[in-house]
Amino acid sequence: NKGGLVSAHAHLNNPTTGGKYSDRTVSFDDLLKPGTTTYNAWIAELDRIAAGFQQLENAGVIVLWRPFHEMNGCWFWWSCRNTETFKKVWIQMFDYFTYTKGLNNILWVYAPSGSYPSSVTGFYPGDAYVDIVGLDNYTNDLSKASLVASYGQITTLNKPFAFTEFGPSSDFGNFDYQKLILGIRQYFSKAVYFMAWNWEWSISFNLNGKVLLEDPWIVNRGEF
């Protein structure tokens, strides 16, 4: 109501085992097979998410939804999977929310890890299913070659670009957040927004957050 943007990020439990998001013993193909235990658990989870999105839609709220983030890494149950199967699972979620649940308040954000330039576009499900593309990355050096190369790859998709998850990789509490906007200006000028992670990676926990937010390249709440 005060002009802020709403984003949703999910570390969903493993639908096969019920374990945490880092439990990679999942029957990933079964997400697409009605009647399997994994499928039933997955659809139940999608129903819970959709119910929350419906409350937001009823309130007139648009959501930046970033599912399956860092899918080109190998640390979540949904990551490092067969690319064609992954695309089908993404489209399944899109169709379920859009057509089965009738939701129309979601902006879909595709967000691979920026550490692996060769794979940032490999899991892309298609232009019809993505509104914004981005990169997740933790670094103290925004000139890092792999990150710059990943940006060069993902911007070929011709979608709005964002730093969808960012934080320092070390020196927590002493990272100079002015480096973020200076790096965006020099290397990632197409960025439309960034999302800094919380706790020790956050803007408020580190240095020069005020300088970052007062930079003329930054649009704050109430300025648009």
- The pair of three-digit structure tokens given for residue 35, joined into one six-digit string: 């009647």
Task: Answer whether 58's CB lies under 8 Å from 50's CB.
Answer: no
Q: Closest by alpha carbon to 108, among 47, 66, 77?
A: 66
Query: Which ranges of 96-162 would DSSP assign to H, the alpha helix?
Result: 145-154
Identify whether 214 is a catalytic site residue: no
Say if residues 177 and 200 touch (Cβ distance below 8 Å).
Answer: no
Cβ atoms of residues 129 and 108 within 8 Å: yes
136 Cβ contact partners less than 8 Å away, ≥ 6 residues apart? 69, 70, 111, 112, 113, 114, 164, 165, 166
Catalytic residue (one of 70, 84, 200, 214)? 70
Amino acid 28 reads: F
Which listed residue (165, 200, 214, 223) is catalytic? 165
Q: Is 165 a residue of the active site? A: yes
Tell me which residues are annotated as active site: 70, 165
